[in-house]
Chain A
Amino acid sequence: MKRLSGYYVFALVTLALPVLFPDNYYVTVVGVTVCTNIVLAVSLNLLMGYAGQISLGHAAFFGLGAYSSAVLTVRYGMNPWLAMTAGTMMVAALSYVLSRPILKLKGHYLAMATLGLGIIVHIFFVQADQLTGGPDGMSGLPALRLFGYPIDSDLKWYWVFSVFMLLSVLFSLNIAKSRAGRALAAVHGSEIAAQMLGVDTAKVKSHVFVFSAVLACITGSLFAHQQDFVSPESFSFFFSIELVTMVVLGGLGSTFGAVIGAVLLSLLPEVLIVFEDFEVLIFGAILMVIMIFLPQGLFVALEQTFFKIVRRKRKEPADAAA
């Protein structure tokens, strides 16, 4: 129970927000964006942080999820949940097939291959306009129904997304402290040593690649239904880079690091809008400053500060007694 104490607090806060702040646009709508980014960052962190495989094309899987739901429901009239399942299976298969050759590459070459993947998928979204609606996108997705009830309000969407997000975070935390998580970290630490301990490193890398792709894909499908609109802009290379930034900013290799990074980078633009034309400049400056002074990421920095405060409080009663 101690292991997950931080998680329980986080879950409580997440679920309590709309209760504490009812009818609040920031909680429900921005909250959905934050939850979306958290799942994407957490799934990317499994690949990048634990297994050490850099991916600059994560937005592609997010987009494939969104577009497969959109296309299958709008153009082929499929039931939304069926469409989501079909899309997920397709992405699982695609990511598995791609994983083997791509993950043979290392470092910048791997970055390049994933970048290429992301860009090719994005160009497909833009160019295949008969299917995808081209640069203007598609809308008109049917309502998603849960147990017969349509999810048709911002609040309901918030519940769906926050539960999905909390499950994803839980899964990631469970994986981290497990045989699978250790195998991932071992691949990152030393592939050769991992192999000599019986770890099939190619298989491990492939599995985590598919797992993170599938999570991103499901997120994309939910996103498509919630927005009732998909367009290539949301799934560009820029967004892939943003996801990488979230993961590193929060702290590579830490689930909560990814959460913090996602929360920060989702909320920052909302905050910075007040600066109007200076928004982009300040955003870039903040990124640089955080990475220069907190190179291990925000989560580690916060953890260390937290422990310093706890240690100081523990010392005080002892000093008082002496």
Chain B
Amino acid sequence: MPLLEVRDLEKQFGGLKAISHLDFTVPEKIIFSVIGPNGAGKTTLFNLLTNVYRPSAGSIFFQGRDITALPSFRIAGLGITRTFQNLQVFLNMTALENVMVGCHLHSRAGLISAALRLPSVIREEKKVRKGAMDALEFCGLSDVAHVPADALPYGILKKLEIARALAARPRLLLMDEPAAGLNDTETMEMCGLITRICESGITVILVEHNMSLVMEISHHVLVLNYGELLAQGSPYEVQHNPEVIAAYLGEG
């Protein structure tokens, strides 16, 4: 069974069809990249998958379950998390606290038990802290754990968002332009990080503009153009597809 299945997905904004007739499946444990020119509908696709937008038509299945109309927090509960094109880091917390929010789904303490600071809450806090520190370490951010997020540089914040998403222990991670705004060294580090994430058993769907990154680490590439599926296949196949080249890739 494929991990994610998108059937006949469509999204209209007024007269504009941002996504139309989109059909594809994503198998488990690969890095699946979505590329396309600006305005092709890549972020819209992510927003549809996570119910930031409601589809105009079509359906989305995750592990065989119809998630088309589920609210975002329930989708997260099923094992899908994402990072954002425009950073959505919690700037009002430290790096560690940001990632601890990622552990929200794996802890239970509510408002009242927190107020009373019951022993079960104290135990759970320790576990959450450890889980968060582990996620920070995985992304190489242990040093900045206690730094307020609003004091951290852009490159670190991008990694922080990933650490936070990983703390939720997802099965599927949607990454929206993780390499945007990064220099060459940082991009190479990001390549390594994404590969390690996939190796740890998480399926990654990647939206990216950085072609060398996409071609370097993807197992499968899907090309969107004007909201429609233009081509898909292995990086090599897509790179040599004349239609794709015509629509998008000027260089290799």
Residues on A facing B (Cβ under 8 Å): 171-172, 174-175, 177-183, 185-186, 188-190, 192-201, 207-208, 211, 253
Contact = CB atoms under 8 A, between A and B. Distances in A.
Given A182-B97, A253-B92, A197 B168 contact: yes
Contact of A198 (B100, B105, B111, B114): B105
B90 to A, nearest CB: 3
A174 B101 contact: no
B241 to A, nearest CB: 33
A181 B114 contact: yes
A188 B128 CA distance: 21
Which of A185, A190, A207 has the largest number of chain B CB atoms within 10 A? A190
B101 to A, nearest CB: 5
Interface string B77-117: 10001101000111111000100111111011111001111
A195 B76 contact: yes
A199 B73 contact: yes
Question: 3 tightest CB-CB pairs across the interface, nearest first?
Answer: A189-B90, A178-B114, A193-B88
B71 A185 contact: no
A193 B81 CA distance: 9
B189 interface: no
B93 A185 contact: yes
B115 A194 contact: no
Contacts of B102: 197
B117 A174 contact: yes
A197 B92 contact: no
A180 B92 contact: no
B125 A198 contact: no
B63 interface: no
Contacts of A197: 76, 81, 101-102, 104-105, 164-165, 168
Give the residue among A178, A193, A196, A200 with the most B Cβ atoms within 10 A.
Answer: A196
B104 A198 contact: yes
Given A174-B117, A178-B109, A207-B111, A186 B90 contact: yes
B72 interface: yes
Main secondary structure of the interface of A (DSSP, over half): helix
B75 to A, nearest CB: 8
Given A178-B114, A179-B104, A198-B77, A192 B97 contact: no
B207 to A, nearest CB: 15
A182 B103 CA distance: 10
20 contacts: A174-B114, A179-B100, A179-B103, A179-B107, A179-B109, A179-B121, A179-B128, A180-B114, A182-B100, A188-B92, A189-B92, A190-B88, A192-B84, A197-B76, A197-B105, A198-B77, A198-B104, A199-B73, A207-B111, A211-B111
Contact of A178 (B50, B89, B105, B121): B121
B91 A189 contact: yes
A199 B93 CA distance: 16
A201 to B, nearest CB: 7
Given A171-B115, A182-B101, 11 more contacts: A179-B128, A183-B101, A185-B97, A192-B52, A192-B72, A196-B165, A197-B164, A197-B168, A198-B105, A201-B73, A208-B111
B23 interface: no
B170 to A, nearest CB: 10
Nearest to A190: B88
B93 A175 contact: no
Given A195-B76, A197-B102, A201-B73, A175 B111 contact: yes
B124 interface: yes
For A188, A192, A197, A253, which residue has the most chain B Cβ atoms within 10 angstroms? A197
A193 B90 contact: yes
A194 B90 CA distance: 9
Contacts of B71: 195
Nearest to B81: A196
Given A174-B115, A198-B77, A183 B104 contact: yes
